[in-house]
Structure 1
Amino acid sequence: MSKNADVIGWGGEVVDTADYKTPTQMGNGRTSTGASYVKQIKFYVDDDETPVITPAADDLDILETQGNCYSVSENDGDELVVFYGGPGLVVAILFSSALLGDGRQFGGLKTILKTIKTEDGEVIDCVNILKQPAFSHPLLLNHTIQLEPSFNAITNCFRSRGDLLIQSWHKYGQCPDGSIPIVRKLMQGNNNRPIFPKQFPPFSSADMLQNNNDANYQHQWALVSADRDGQIQGGHAKINNWRPFVNQEGGSMSQIWIAASSGDNDRETIEVGWMVAPSTGSSDSKIFIYWTNDNYQSTGCYNLDCPGFVQTSNTLAIGAKLANISTYGGAQFDIEYDVRKDPKSKNWWLTINGQTQGYWPAKLFKKMSKNADVIAWGGEVVDSVDYKNPTHMGNGRTTEENPSYVKQLKFYVDDEDAPEVTPAADDLSILETQGNCYAVSENDGDELVVFYGGPGCPE
């Protein structure tokens, strides 16, 4: 540079320590409207005829090392303006529970850091991430929280809080860094969980026989599935939200199933989607998760009702009410679900609407500590055997006119050359246990879309 330079750049840079809690902002912390700007851009060159160059947007290269956290854009109107900045990566606190003894105590830290109450009575406790239910599990007493998956996932960055407003409580506040939101159990005797048992879809005659052993409840399914014995490492879908009619003791679920089994009684599953179950305290639609490692017998649970799932995000309360519900003939609201096994830790990571939420530790499973066998997408309903009006699935309709849908279906497999599979209709099997009451169909146009649901069959 005693002679000349090679390159020139304009924009922002941030530096943080590796163990930061709240990210440093770039510019004014915004990535879109009202962002920081650079104007009157020009540079000087060793050229007697044109020593000053005022570049156009096409003359410049863009570098974003973490584009969903800090971004840059150009407005090449009468004058080139470069906008840049962002809020950065929102990160949960990372601690080793080996420091905590039983995984639940850390000095004198409070368990509940903040409480958020809504007008309709829902209460969200912002619980210290180190005192979440997961660390009561005997296999997780010395567990080290994994901050992020090792694979290239969508991170916890977001351009605006509006991207996350999918639950009713969000408009009343947010949980601080280092905490996770948990729905408080409000009513005496009500565990905020469904009272009906979970069952696995009957892909075989053995499954059907075992499901028929329940004398109090009956389950019906309408779904599509893909079977890749010992090869599946996760799955993905976008499912629109509804609030169907559900009997008081029943439930209606729209979800993804990921499962493995080496026998009738050791089936392992990871499940995620939305559900309506009045026994949870309301007939609202809510995001749910579920896991079991013994075919729903004595292990596993919904949401955070038992130790198991490790939540790392402070943005979403699993089991809380959804704010936006689709309407027949009107606006459609959907949620994007992604479950993927980390190739290094073997933990199964959950991402919802582009935000990593946490993971099911590999230690919870036997066969699924490696891979899964089957993945399915669709609906399930549960009713007590003495019901009069059947519970609805999806939006209660079976036609393709504004139906319940599953889009962006794909699954991940143990194949370095082709780790993601986007299935066509011919790649999937259809299961309808009561097809004249709850149905599933496929539209294999430019994009595969699965339609499912129904009003049930009144007796």
Structure 2
Amino acid sequence: FAYHYSATWPDGYYGFIGTMDVYGFPLSKEQGSAAAVWIHDEGDFATTSLRAIMIGWDNDGFTTTGCINTKCPGFQPQKGAGIAPGDVIDHVTFPKQLIKRNLNLKIIKNGSSGDWLVHCGLDREPELIGRFPRSLFTGGFADRAKSIGFGAVAYGPITKPTPMGSGYLPTDPKSAASISNIQLVDKDGRVWPVTEDLPKSETNRNAYAATPIVSGKFYYGGHELPKP
């Protein structure tokens, strides 16, 4: 993992806006790599109390509920939407390519229905593509999120490291992947640009890392073997 996260706020969070670079490279069956946004409720820190939306959802730490994309009932697609969770993106960005493809995301909690509305646009303004109904969730997450995280995850054999982001560590912004235009939404629907750095977590910064947030943007990635 290499990601930033918002501090717990008494009034909670009601949405996220951001832009991700879209990269592609061949992976083997035992490898996985993703840029991600986690909108979640911490619960009492027991696994079964974890509730989250990841374009995928769960209500108990994936113990008995939830799935990724549309592999189980939950996400309700918007009729006529041009893109859907799980769609294949053609013509992705490759490392060090000058022109990057961007995935623009907006996830907002609807004030009247309480549903989490998902907007997405590839190289364009995000459109409504569907929703996670309020009825999927229990506890505080039915009303708000306690925290929002954004960054990336990669997994695979330690002897065959998996690329994260563009595959490059974020020491060179021209080569590394980024998440930009980061904004958080409050209970009144007001949008707050993230202008200062937020806490971050890196499982091994020598292998996968994220830079500080500057003006709503940070770089992340890597693929090196973990070093002692």
* TM band (smaller chain): 0.7 to 0.9
Higher helix share: 1
The letter for the 1-side match of 2:27 is V
Q: Deviations over 1:188-211 (max 9, x none)?
A: xxxxxxxxxxxxxxxxxxxxxxxx
Say whether the 8 Å CA contact 1:241–1:324 is kept in structure 2. no
Q: Could you tell me which residue of structure 2 aligns to residue 130 of structure 1?
A: none
**What do residues 411-440 of structure 1 show as CA deviations (whole Å, max 9, x unaligned)?**
1112x3x822211233x1111111110000
Q: Which structure would you say has the larger RCO, counting Cα contacts within 8 Å and 6 or more residues apart?
A: 2
Secondary structure of the 1:410 match is strand
* Conservation of the 8 A alpha-carbon contact between 1:222 and 1:433: yes
User: Contact 2:13/2:145 (CA < 8 Å) preserved in 1?
Assistant: yes
Measured against aligned partners, the alpha-carbon deviations of 1:106-154 in whole angstroms (never above 9, x if no partner) come to xxxxxxxxxxxxxxxxxxxxxxxxxxxxxxxxxxxxxxxxxxxxxxxxx
Shift of 1:332: 0.5
Percentage of identical aligned residues:
23
Partner residue, 2:148: 375
Q: How does 1:23-62 map to 2 (within 5 A)?
A: none
Task: Tell me whether 1:403 sits opposite 2:176 in the alignment.
Answer: yes
Specify the alignment match of 2:6 in structure 1: 226
> What SS class does the counterpart of residue 146 from structure 2 fall into?
strand
- Supply the distance in 1 between the matched residues of 2:195 and 2:167 (Cα, whole angstroms): 26
Matched with 1:455 is: 223
- Residue 436 of structure 1 corresponds to which residue in structure 2? 206
Partner of 1:310 in structure 2? 76
| Structure 2 Cα separation of the partners of residues 374 and 254 of structure 1 | 17
Asked if structure 2 preserves the Cα contact closer than 8 Å seen for 1:239 and 1:406, the reply is yes
Match of residue 419 from structure 1:
190
| Alignment counterpart, residue 333 of structure 1, candidates 82, 92, 101 | 101
Match status 1:342 vs 2:110? yes
Deviation at 1:443, TM superposition (A): 5.3
1:249 aligns with 2:19: no
1:269 is the counterpart of 2:52: yes
Distance 1:268 1:443, change over 3 A: closer
Whether 2:137 is the aligned partner of 1:365: answer yes
Partners of 1:313 and 1:371 in 2: CA distance: 26
Residue ranges of structure 2 left out of the alignment (5+ in a row):
none
Q: Which runs of 5+ in 1 are unaligned?
A: 1-220, 272-288
Query: 1-side partners of 2:89 and 2:176: how far apart?
Result: 19
How much does 1:376 deviate? 1.1
Q: Distance in 2 between matches of 1:249 and 1:290?
A: 21
In the alignment, the residues of structure 1 paired with residue 39 and residue 74 of structure 2 have an alpha-carbon distance, to the nearest angstrom, of 16
Structure whose CA Rg is larger: 1
TM-score by length of 2: 0.88
Deviations 1:41-93 (A, max 9, x none): xxxxxxxxxxxxxxxxxxxxxxxxxxxxxxxxxxxxxxxxxxxxxxxxxxxxx
How far off is 1:329 after superposition?
Answer: 2.7
Q: What SS class does the counterpart of residue 372 from structure 1 fall into?
A: coil
**What is the one-letter code of the residue matched to 2:96?**
G
Relative to the length of structure 1, the TM-score reads 0.45
Query: For 2:87 and 2:178, how far apart are their aligned partners in 1?
Result: 22
Q: Is the 8 A contact 2:21 2:93 kept in 1?
A: yes
> What's the offset of the Cα at 1:228?
3.2
Matched, 1:388 2:155: no
Q: CA RMSD in A?
A: 1.8
Whether 1:323 aligns to 2:90 is yes
Tell me how far apart the structure 2 counterparts of residues 323 and 309 of structure 1 sit (CA, whole Å).
Answer: 23
CA contact (8 A) 1:247 1:390 kept: no
Distance 1:429 1:222 in 2: 11
1:326 counterpart letter in structure 2: T
Q: Which amino acid aligns with 1:373?
A: K
Distance in 2 of aligned mates of 1:369 and 1:348: 9
Residues 244, 430 of structure 1: alpha-carbon distance in 2 compared, 3 angstrom cutoff? farther
SS of 1:228 mapped into structure 2: coil
Any conservation in 1 of the 2:120–2:127 contact (CA below 8 Å)?
Answer: yes
Say which SS state the counterpart of residue 34 (structure 2) adopts. Answer: strand
CA distance in 2, matches of 1:396, 1:419: 35
Alpha-carbon separation, structure 2, partners of 1:378 and 1:440: 8
